[in-house]
Amino acid sequence: MAVAIFLLIIVVGSVVFTFWSPWWFSEIASNWGGIDTTVLITFWVCGAVFVAIGVFMAYCTWKYRHREGARADYQPENARLEWWLTVITTIGVVAMLAPGLIVWDDYVNPPDEALEFEVLSQQWTWKFRFPGADGVLGTVDVANLSLDNPFGMREDDPAGEDDVLVNSAEVHLPIGQPFKVLLRSRDVLHDFFVPEFRAKMDSVPGMVTYFWFTPTKIGQYQIICAELCGMSHHTMRGWVHVDTEEDFAAWFANQPTWAEMRDGVTRKVYTALAQRGRQVAESSGCLACHTLDGTKVVGPTWQGLWGGEQTLADGSKVMVDEAYVIESVREPNAKVVEGFAPGTMITYGADVVSDDDLEALIAFLREDAAP
Ligand code: CUA
């Protein structure tokens, strides 16, 4: 009897929790209401089965409880019961899967008026690329990926010249405009997901995946990575700003094209030693965790780092000079910057970053901070 009541409490409690809990879908900001509908159909089918099985178990534990002298009846086959269970299960499974197929068909068939943009994912950030005035995205090559060419643009493809490159994890989109989103990955499997859009898609190294959506509500929506992609997967975030058409146009006009980026509109000129330091930073993986543009990723940004002061976790301050940089590479946990966890960075010994490399790296930091 106690077990039967316990089972009933679980069933009733689950139902009450479902209707009274404060957690529900965030307000939708795209055209994908159909995805909510399919999720809800699955939810109701599973919920009904959960309640039916729970109540049936409670009934059986009460009805067939132990009684002196009672004997169990052995009945291994019951064609009628199996027939019914097969029919009901089939209806339930079809009800859950068929709507998903209909929505999926829509999800991967963008309307004719959809414009394109590209999402480039990498450990552990996002970048975006729009076709320029010609409406065509230039071709790319992974072999070209570098600090100076963060999208791997091909020099020999004129269609790429006017591509608008957003070298940041924040992108803007105009409201009401359908977009076909093309996804690329620089390194491992990631998944572009904006919960309010109800839309997500894996980005797979070596191929271009896609889906489409129309932003329907002005606002700022967080991008999260929905595929475990390494130590800092949880920090792989970004923002989509859904703007009015005018606000979007103003933002868009401020983004550099590939031709402008390549021609060094924003690029600095470094000495040969600093240039080598920059390559060291890139090839040793420093830039996966330390940005050059002020963005906080896994470790402190390197923007304006050299010659300034860092506040440490214990509240003390330290000058960023040669001794500090060398120590931070060789013994990263000796001084931990405020707001960052100790043990996040591995130790880089001389076998990985040689003393010469370190000297070049310091030259780069020094020149990068110089106005
Ligand atoms: Cu990228 Cu998780």
CATH number of the domain at 282, please.
Answer: 1.10.760.10
Rounded to the nearest integer, the mean pLDDT of the chain is 89
Q: Are residues 231 and 307 both part of a single domain?
A: no
Q: Are residues 50 and 126 both part of a single domain?
A: no
Distance from Cα 126 to the centre of ligand 1, integer Å: 10
Q: Are residues 274 and 330 both part of a single domain?
A: yes
Query: Of the residues 225, 260, 295, which one is the last residue of a structural domain?
Result: 260
- Dihedral Cα 230, 231, 232, 234, nearest 10 deg: 80
Q: Are residues 191 and 157 both part of a single domain?
A: yes
The verdict on the CB of residue 237 being under 6 Å from ligand 1 is no
In a domain, 68, yes or no: no
In a domain, 160, yes or no: yes
pLDDT digits (tens, 9 = 90+) for 179-208: 999 999 998 999 999 999 999 999 999 999
- Residue 124 preceded by cis peptide, ω within 30: yes
Distance from Cα 224 to the centre of ligand 1, integer Å: 8
Is the pLDDT score of 370 beyond 60? yes
The verdict on the CB of residue 227 being under 6 Å from ligand 1 is yes
* Nearest-atom index, ligand 1, CA of 226: 2
The answer to whether 214 and 32 are in contact (CB under 8 A) is no
Q: Are residues 132 and 219 both part of a single domain?
A: yes
The verdict on the CB of residue 233 being under 6 Å from ligand 1 is yes
The verdict on the CB of residue 236 being under 6 Å from ligand 1 is yes
The two structure tokens encoding residue 110: 């963008």
- Residue whose Cα lies nearest atom 1 of ligand 1: it is 190
Is the alpha carbon torsion for 339, 344, 348, 353 positive or negative? negative
Give the total number of structural domains in the chain.
3
pLDDT digits (tens, 9 = 90+) for 233-268: 888 899 999 999 999 999 998 888 888 887 765 556
Q: Are residues 183 and 126 both part of a single domain?
A: yes
Q: Residue 224 phi/psi, 5° resolution?
A: -125, 155
Query: Of the residues 228, 260, 292, which one is the last residue of a structural domain?
Result: 260
In a domain, 66, yes or no: no
Domain span including residue 55: 2-16+26-60+82-107
The two structure tokens encoding residue 219: 């606002």
Q: Are residues 124 and 239 both part of a single domain?
A: yes
What's the average model confidence in pLDDT over 30-53?
92
Distance from Cα 223 to the centre of ligand 1, integer Å: 11
Q: Are residues 86 and 119 both part of a single domain?
A: no
Is the alpha carbon torsion for 167, 169, 170, 176 positive or negative? positive
Q: Are residues 163 and 120 both part of a single domain?
A: yes
In a domain, 99, yes or no: yes
Distance from Cα 123 to the centre of ligand 1, integer Å: 7
* Nearest-atom index, ligand 1, CA of 189: 1
The candidate with the shortest Cα–Cα distance to 127, out of 172, 164, 166, is: 166
DSSP 160: G
pTM: 0.73
Give the C-alpha separation, 43 to 25, whole Å.
13
* pLDDT for position 266: 52
